[in-house]
Each structure stands twice: as structure tokens, then as C-alpha cells.
Amino acid sequence: MGPFFYLLFLVSCHFLSISAAPPVAPPKLDEACNNVGGWYVTPQLCHSVLDTDPQSQNADLKGLAIIAVNIAAGNATLVLADMKQFLQATSDPIQQKALQTCVQVYTDIIPKLKVAAESIKNNKYSEAGTVLEAALGVPAKCDDATGNYPTIRAMVDKVDVSFSNVASVARAVVGYLTNYYSG
């Protein structure tokens, strides 16, 4: 009977250790998305942007910030392509000038966003935050340039709202990262 009780004891200990295991920590993605509200980004918006990159499911907070900035750079590239199409589609020189402003502000922000991702990699979070603050102003500059042309403004709004959303999420995640590591 001795070996049987010893085996029963080992099996019982094994099951107790499984049930007493600490709960699994929530993924950094959920943590980040649930804590960026101070930047007026809802968890749903955060997830809708970051969930587009499958790597975000396993990334740490720094990785999420890099992913968010890269998503913003990618989105800015898509918006830039749309702006160039809008520009080619109009023959009105005044409207062309307005759209050239849009093309220019998106052209200018894309390399800065790529630098921001590198800044995060090098733990220069405030530098990345500064770039993202500038990125948040890009759609407004485009809107100001096209404001007198309702047809163009409507086309521009359809594409630069998406950039505004992803830039907001990127800024919020980088802000959370900055606070997380400085606090």
C-alpha cells in the first residue's frame, strides 16, 4: 500500500499545483488599449488599428508602439497615393494647388514616422511623441487647404480620417509607453 499512497500523493500535488498556478497576465495589447483613453482613444479604436498587425498579439509595450507607428506610416502612404490620384483627376489649378498642399504634408510626414519608429527602438520616446503630435496635425492642414472646395474636401475627408485615427492610436500608445517607463 505504501507505493500506491505515494503515487496518489504525487498526483494530488500535481493537480493542486495546476489549480494554484497564478492567473496568466493579460496581453500587453489589451493592457495598452485599455489604458490609452487619456488620449481620447477608445479600446475599440485601439484594437481596430493594432489588430490589423498579427504581431501585436504577442508584442510587448515597446513593440506595440513601433507597430502603431509603422501602421500610421503605412496608412499615410496609402492616403498619399489617394491624394495624388485626386490631384491627377482635377484640371482646376486652384483645386490642384489645394491638393498639392495635401500631397506635400503627407509626403513630409512619412519619413518622419519611420524615424519615430527608430526613435522608439532606441528608447527615445519623447522624440517619437513629438513626431506623432505633428502627424496629428497633417489632416487639419489638408482640410484647411481644401476647405473652400466641398467636393474635394469630401473626397479628402474620406481618406484622411483613417489617417487621423491611426495617428491618434499611435500617439496614444507612445504616450502610454512614455508614461509607463518614466513613471
Q: Kindly tell me if the per-residue pLDDT of 83 is higher than 70.
A: yes
pLDDT band at 103 (very low <50, low <70, confident <90, very high): very high
Q: Kindly tell me if the per-residue pLDDT of 104 is higher than 90.
A: yes
pLDDT band at 12 (very low <50, low <70, confident <90, very high): very low
pLDDT at 115: 98
For the chain, give the DSSP string.
-HHHHHHHHHHHHHHHHHHTSPPPPPPHHHHHHHS-GGGT--HHHHHHHHTTSGGGGT--HHHHHHHHHHHHHHHHHHHHHHHHHHHHH---HHHHHHHHHHHHHHHHHHHHHHHHHHHHHTT-HHHHHHHHHHHHHHHHHHHHHHTT-HHHHHHHHHHHHHHHHHHHHHHHHHHHHHHHHH-
Please, how many CA atoms are within 13 Å of residue 20, restricted to the half-sphere of its CB?
6
Closest CA to 167 of 83, 73, 103, 101: 73
Tens of pLDDT, residues 134-152 = 999 999 999 999 988 998 9
Closest CA to 51 of 180, 172, 169: 169
Better-predicted residue by pLDDT, 98 or 182:
98
CATH architecture for the domain at 27-182: Up-down Bundle (1.20)
Domain boundaries, the chain: 27-182
Greatest C-alpha distance within the chain = 97
Better-predicted residue by pLDDT, 167 or 15:
167
